[in-house]
Amino acid sequence: MTRKLSMSGAINEAMKLAMRKDENVILMGEDVAGGAQVDHLQDEDAWGGVLGVTKGLVQEFGRERILDTPITEAGYMGAAMAAASTGLRPIAELMFNDFIGSCLDEVLNQGAKFRYMFGGKAQVPVTIRTMHGAGFRAAAQHSQSLYALFTAIPGVKVVVPSTPYEAKGLLLAAIEDNDPVIFFEDKTLYNMTGDVPEGYYTIPIGKADIKREGSDVTVVAIGKQVHTALEAAEQLSQKGIEIEVVDPRSLSPLDEEAILSSVEKTNRLIVIDEANPRCSIATDIAALVADKGFDHLDAPIKRITAPHTPVPFSPALEDIYLPKAERVVKVVSELLGTPLEV
Amino acid sequence: MKALESNKDVALTKEKAQWMYQKMVEIRNFEDRVHELFAKGILPGFVHLYAGEEAVAVGVCAHLNDKDSITSTHRGHGHCIAKGCDLDGMMAEIYGKVTGLCKGKGGSMHIADFDKGMLGANGIVGGGFPLACGSALTAKYKKTDNVSVCFFGDGAQNHGTFHEGINLAAIWKLPVVFVAENNGYAEATPFSYASSCKSIVDRAIAYNIPGIKVDGKDILAVYQAAEEAVLRARRGEGPTLIECVTYRNYGHFEGDAQTYKGDQEKAEHKQEKDAILLFRKHLLNEQLLAENEVVAIEKSVEAAVDQAVKFSEESPYPNASELLTDVYVSY
């Protein structure tokens, strides 16, 4: 049975299903339950995360499995890595991906390295769930999209879902995976609803999804920007232009074949990525296609990204920071040499 | 600080005394050999030697079994040996050979043996505190009575992870024993300069956990303190901080001219303050072991280290195909 569920509801449901299936799955993070040891606070009143994504888990699984941590990202992230390598399957919540500054070593030099550095003797089945994304008026330290930083680290997998259906299936796949997986949740998509099947299912990590077929331009879009691309596709379709929207869904591993075969069909590539442009996923995908798909290109590769600035606070500035459908329409028109109708 | 004399009441079985002396001599002999091999240019990379600090690793690990785990440091060979890692596999790892404990992919700073509860030497100062909490969390969650020991140096006690890790272990009552190896120098910087506290153990007060400072050259003092801390952890009563005052006989790394050390301290730590000589004397005085038994251990260890070097020399390097294994994907 499929029914409408929000993105945060889908993520919440995935965690519940994983914890029912495997008692080695635990959840740890700051206020993932909330109110630990507060006598007057009944567990049903507990926060369940700052935005309520983990609400209800503590009632079902208890505080032995839903662990509120102190605000010490290095401490609990490192603990999650070694708990994983010694037999548990932790989900560690890094509240905002921006906070990786406080615990990068635990991911970069510890968890990501164990399996290779120890000659294959260690497994690190940890899932780091983390919020990202601009548009929440959360300013420079709570709005970044740092998935490129993690994609640059061998040994970790990076997942960025764009719909509730994918969030649930990919999170279950992430928890089942025996390597560290960083699972990005766009905070501005939490309330977006979509069709989500009931029950346990996984979506393989490393498989892209064609969100809309088209023959004129390939538009690879990441996370929330998939929706920007789809909005642009609607507008362009009315002018007779059909873009193909490719959602990689995971950035590491990256489904190179899906991107390259789409470019082979359309001969043009745009990448939409709301992260900063230097050393970004947009740049990485552009390099991939320049290297392996050059013969199929009829036009320069275009990247639509945020500017190379911190995320501004003022709504007036943040609104122009993020990629927009209008900009996509404009770039597509330029690539095709089709004059813009205003 | 407890002195050697006060520990004559520590009752060691002959078997335990033998094991402890053997492990100490293994570490010393192994490290002296690595020193020679490195000086000859035979070993690649960085090596940080544990010689001089043997009483700490051995005195603590004497209370552990293979299901207990330890986290270690960049100066990890001693911890590996005390925790039961195979000398052949260790030496081959330091040579970068495929027969090494990590197939030659880790090297001196990353020797691990999960079957022995050795969760890995660690090239990052302060890396072990959260990790020890994690393995202890597994033990607590699975309701085993396994204990995690976190070995760390005086340099690491100023790192943020020291505070985060000890606080987490304290509030969750995790079965961790934090063992400080205060050898007086963080690289080339004296402890007295770098630490706001006179003793590392003073910091236990801040986290409301027991702390004890011992002479880390006196294996009986270390043994006694560790026994109490390990039992406390096994009983589910939470972490303890033990500070062992010790000395490293070599430099921070091989090639370090050690200009920051005084001549006298260097000499006395190799003679009257040497942990192995002190324990040897104790074993003979207390008639725990006879002279011929002690000599037999020393000879067998020398042969074992010779064998480890031979094994490593004769072992092949990893095949090129190994570059791309043990990691999920390569582009």
pLDDT digits (tens, 9 = 90+) for B215-258: 999 999 999 999 999 999 999 999 999 999 999 999 999 999 99
B78 to chain A, any CB pair closer than 8 A? The answer is no
pLDDT (tens digit, 9 = 90+) per residue, A60-109?
999 999 999 999 999 999 999 999 999 999 999 999 999 999 999 999 99
What chain A residue is nearest to B69 in terms of C-alpha separation?
A: A86
pLDDT of residue B1: 44
* Residue A39 exposed, middle or buried by CB count within 10 Å (0-12, 13-18, 19+): exposed
B106 to chain A, any CB pair closer than 8 A? The answer is yes
Average pLDDT over chain B reads 95
B328 to chain A, any CB pair closer than 8 A? The answer is yes
- Touching A: B residues 124-153, CB under 8 Å: 124, 127, 129-135, 137-139, 141-142
CB pair distance less than 8 Å for A78 and B165? yes
Question: Of the listed A132, A142, A227, A296, which one is catalytic?
Answer: A142
CB pair distance less than 8 Å for B134 and A79? yes
Q: Tokens for B187?
A: 């690289």
From A280, A279, A272, select the one nearest A326 (Cα to Cα): A272
Percent helix, strand and coil across chain A, each to the nearest 5: 40, 20, 40
Residues A14/A168, Cβ–Cβ less than 8 Å: yes
Q: How confident is the model at residue A1 (pLDDT cuts 50, 70, 90)?
A: confident
pLDDT of residue B7: 55
Domains of chain B: 14-317 (3.40.50.970)
A93 to chain B, any CB pair closer than 8 A? The answer is no
Residues B216/B182, Cβ–Cβ less than 8 Å: yes
pLDDT (tens digit, 9 = 90+) per residue, A11-61?
999 999 999 999 999 999 999 999 888 888 766 778 999 999 999 999 999
pLDDT of residue B214: 98
pLDDT of residue B3: 42
Which of B131, B143, B324, B331 has the most A C-beta neighbours within 10 Å, making it the best mutation to test the interface with A?
A: B131
B329 to chain A, any CB pair closer than 8 A? The answer is yes
Q: Tokens for A156?
A: 């970790």
pLDDT (tens digit, 9 = 90+) per residue, A151-185?
999 999 999 999 999 999 999 999 999 999 999 99
A72 to chain B, any CB pair closer than 8 A? The answer is yes
Please state the three-class secondary structure of chain B as a single string: CECHHHHCCCCCCHHHHHHHHHHHHHHHHHHHHHHHHHHCCCCCCCCCCCCCCHHHHHHHHCCCCCCCEEECCCCCHHHHHHCCCCHHHHHHHHHCCCCCCCCCCCCHHHCCEHHHCECCCCCCCCCHHHHHHHHHHHHHHCCCCCCEEEEEECCHHHCHHHHHHHHHHHHCCCCEEEEEEECCEECCEEHHHHCCCCCCCHHHHHCCCCEEEEECCCHHHHHHHHHHHHHHHHCCCCCEEEEEECCCCCCCCCCCCCCCCCHHHHHHHHCCCCHHHHHHHHHHHCCCCCHHHHHHHHHHHHHHHHHHHHHHHHCCCCCHHHHHCCCCCCC
Measure the N-to-C terminal CA separation of chain B; round to a whole number of Å: 56
Reported as type and span, the H/E element at residue A271 is strand A269-273
| β-sheet with B148-153: strand ranges across | B69-71, B148-153, B176-182, B240-245, B211-215
Average pLDDT over chain A reads 96
How many angstroms away from the CA of A78 is the closest CA of chain B?
Answer: 5
Calculate the CA B80 to chain-centre distance. 7
pLDDT (tens digit, 9 = 90+) per residue, B81-134?
999 999 999 999 999 999 999 999 999 999 999 999 999 999 999 999 999 999
- Say which of A84, A121, A157 has its CB closest to residue B112: A121
Q: Where are the alpha helices (DSSP H) in chain A?
A: 7-21, 57-61, 73-85, 104-105, 114-117, 147-151, 164-176, 225-237, 256-266, 281-292, 315-321, 325-336
Q: Calculate mean pLDDT across residues B199-209.
A: 97
- Say which of A70, A116, A179 has its CB closest to residue B167: A70
Q: Calculate mean pLDDT across residues B194-213.
A: 97
In the predicted structure, residue B6 carries a pLDDT above the cut 70: no
Integer CA distances (angstroms), B84 to B21, B31, B68, B251, in order: 14, 16, 12, 25
> DSSP letter string over A235-254?
HHHTTT--EEEEE-SEEETB
- Touching A: B residues 188-217, CB under 8 Å: none
Q: Which residues of A touch B102 (CB under 8 A)?
A: 117-119, 121
Residues B56/B215, Cβ–Cβ less than 8 Å: no
B14-39 vs B275-285: helix axis angle to the nearest 10? 150
DSSP state of A99: G
Q: Which residues of B touch A113 (CB under 8 A)?
A: 110
- Say which of B71, B102, B139 has its CB closest to residue A118: B102
A80 to chain B, any CB pair closer than 8 A? The answer is yes
pLDDT of residue B2: 43
pLDDT of residue A261: 98
Q: Which residues of A touch B106 (CB under 8 A)?
A: 117-119
Q: Calculate mean pLDDT across residues B285-309.
A: 97
Q: B288: how many CB neighbours lie within 10 A of its CB?
A: 19
Cα–Cα distance, A130 to A97 (Å, whole number)? 5
A73-85 vs B128-141: helix axis angle to the nearest 10? 60
pLDDT of residue B330: 60
How many angstroms away from the CA of B157 is the closest CA of chain A?
Answer: 14
Q: A339: how many CB neighbours lie within 10 A of its CB?
A: 8
Q: How confident is the model at residue A341 (pLDDT cuts 50, 70, 90)?
A: low
Q: Calculate mean pLDDT across residues A252-264.
A: 98
- Count of alpha carbons within 13 angstroms of residue B288, beta-carbon side: 20
Domains of chain A: 2-197 (3.40.50.970), 209-336 (3.40.50.920)
Q: Where are the alpha helices (DSSP H) in A111-208?
A: 114-117, 147-151, 164-176
Measure the N-to-C terminal CA separation of chain A; round to a whole number of Å: 44
Query: Is the bond preceding A253 in cis, omega lying within 30 degrees of 0?
Result: yes
Bridge pairing between strands A25-29 and A89-96: parallel
Q: Which residues of A touch B165 (CB under 8 A)?
A: 75, 78-79
pLDDT of residue A340: 64
How many angstroms away from the CA of B249 is the closest CA of chain A?
Answer: 28
How many angstroms away from the CA of A298 is the closest CA of chain B?
Answer: 26
Q: Which residues of B touch A114 (CB under 8 A)?
A: 112, 120
In the predicted structure, residue B5 carries a pLDDT above the cut 60: no
- Touching B: A residues 106-135, CB under 8 Å: 106, 109-110, 113-122
Torsions phi, psi for A304 (to 5 deg): -110, 110
Q: Is the backbone of residue B173 left (phi > 0), alpha (psi -120 to 50) or beta?
A: left
Residues A122/A113, Cβ–Cβ less than 8 Å: no
Q: Which residues of A touch B167 (CB under 8 A)?
A: 70, 72, 75
pLDDT of residue A186: 98
Q: Is the backbone of residue A12 left (phi > 0), alpha (psi -120 to 50) or beta?
A: alpha
pLDDT of residue B9: 75
Is A227 noted as a catalytic residue in this protein? no
Bridge pairing between strands A193-197 and A243-247: unpaired
Q: How confident is the model at residue B298 (pLDDT cuts 50, 70, 90)?
A: very high
Cα–Cα distance, A172 to A185 (Å, whole number)? 14
Q: Which residues of B touch A67 (CB under 8 A)?
A: 172
Which of B143, B326, B330 has the most A C-beta neighbours within 10 Å, making it the best mutation to test the interface with A?
A: B326
Q: Which residues of B touch A83 (CB under 8 A)?
A: 134-135, 137-138, 141
B72 to chain A, any CB pair closer than 8 A? The answer is no
In the predicted structure, residue B331 carries a pLDDT above the cut 80: no
B323 to chain A, any CB pair closer than 8 A? The answer is no
- Touching A: B residues 12-71, CB under 8 Å: 69, 71
pLDDT (tens digit, 9 = 90+) per residue, B66-76?
999 999 999 99
- Count of alpha carbons within 13 angstroms of residue B208, beta-carbon side: 8
Q: A211: how many CB neighbours lie within 10 A of its CB?
A: 19
pLDDT (tens digit, 9 = 90+) per residue, B125-169?
999 999 999 999 999 999 999 999 999 999 999 999 999 999 999
